[in-house]
Amino acid sequence: MKKLTITFWALVGTFLVIMSEFFIPLVNELFIGSILFLLPFIIFSLLGIILIVLTLREKVEGILKKFLMLTGASAGGFFLSVFLHNAFYALGTITNQIIILNYLVEAINVGFFIIAIFVCPLGFLIGVIGSVVLLNKKKNK
């Protein structure tokens, strides 16, 4: 359970670094325009996958398992959704001569964009809040 807790808090910390990249000008200047910009995103996704594996390996039960899985899946799914959004955008530029295929690819592109920008961060926050509440409740017992 200790590895799981450490991974969970490392994931939360990485999320805070990612948010600071966007909202704190000093951090933004350090990361934007360098290869370091992608590093927190990659770490975030890998920690999400690790959290899922540890949750399954530790045989966590009940609603805590669902919140931890939601947290890990949202973190891992973010990078995947961003990658697929960009891949379908590129495919859309290639298929712009075939109207029906272009609309289909554009719809998939927009779907992955919405997942990456709205669904994954919201799922991550819900999973984190639920996990923190349940971990504190479990710790107090």
H-only helix segments in the chain: 2-23, 25-31, 39-57, 62-94, 99-114, 120-140
117 Cβ contact partners less than 8 Å away, ≥ 6 residues apart:
none
**Confidence at residue 27, expressed as pLDDT on a 0 to 100 scale:** 73
Beta carbons within 8 Å of 102's beta carbon, 6+ residues apart: 92, 95, 96
Residue spans of the domains in the chain: they are 2-140
What was the pLDDT predicted at 108?
Answer: 93
Tens of pLDDT along the chain (141 residues) come to: 789 889 999 999 999 988 887 788 777 777 776 777 778 888 999 999 999 999 999 888 889 999 999 999 999 998 899 999 999 999 988 888 888 888 999 999 999 999 999 999 999 999 999 999 998 888 887
| Alpha-carbon span 123 to 129, nearest angstrom | 10
